[in-house]
Amino acid sequence: MSVSKGLVDDVLFEFLHAELVSYVLNSSKDGKKGDVTSLEYIGFSSGYRIIERLTKEWPRFKDELETMKFICTDFWSSIYKKQIDNLRTNHQGVYVLHENSFRFLRKISSGRQYLEAAPKFVAFTCGLIRGALANLGLDCTVTAEIQQMPACKFHIQVQKN
């Protein structure tokens, strides 16, 4: 790590994410409030690019499961300060990532009151995972399920073609 190169503090990423959420939701022009598509897309582009930088020194992952493990451990803990708590799969292309305390939900009151606001805070991350996996050669759809904040489940469905 060279001294001259600036390293951005973590907290800025959190603030930037909050601004992204608020911008995307307030700017939906055609009256579609709550449309998180472009939020997901911003996540996708970031994920697609970052994973390429992170994995360039790594040996090729030997299979799908190993790729997922990388996402759940090294990748996840670098960004979200902890590993995914549990990874489940049906071995047919469906993976469920259990996250018990998601970084972007941790600071929101955990009651049911704000539950309907929760999807905006996971859309970026859904995109991030989809982008990262896309660059590693896996076409997926990623959705999130939140029942009790700050826990969150990410469902990854790998598209077979």
Partner 1 sequence: MSRQGTRLDPKKVNSELFTLTYGALVSQLMKDYENVEEVNKQLERMGYNIGIRLIEDFLARTSSGRCYDFRDTAEKIQLGFRTFLGITPTISNWNPSGDEFSLIIDNNPLTEFVELPDHCLNLKYSNILTGVIRGACEMVQMEVSSWFVQDQLKGDNVTELRVKFVKRLEDAIPAGED
Q: Which residues bind partner 1 (CB under 8 A)?
A: 1, 4-13, 15-17, 19-20, 22-23, 27, 29, 38, 41-43, 45-46, 49-50, 53-54, 57-59, 74-75, 77-79, 81
Quote the least distance from Cβ 41 to partner 1, whole Å: 7
Which residue lies nearer to partner 1 by CB, 47 or 150?
A: 47
Nearest to 20 by CA among 111, 127, 143: 127
Least distance from partner 1 to the Cβ atom of residue 14, Å: 10
* CB-nearer residue toward partner 1: 80 or 115: 80
Instruction: Kindly report the number of other CB atoms within 10 A of residue 39's CB atom.
Output: 24
Query: Judged by CB, which is closer to partner 1: 7, or 161?
Result: 7
CA distance 60 to 137: 11
Which run of H or E residues covers position 18?
helix 10-27
Question: What is the chain's length?
Answer: 161
Least spacing, CB of residue 134 vs partner 1, in Å: 14
* DSSP E strand stretches across 20-127: 86-89, 94-99
Beta carbon nearer to partner 1, 58 or 111: 58
> How many Å apart are CA 71 and CA 77, to the nearest integer?
9
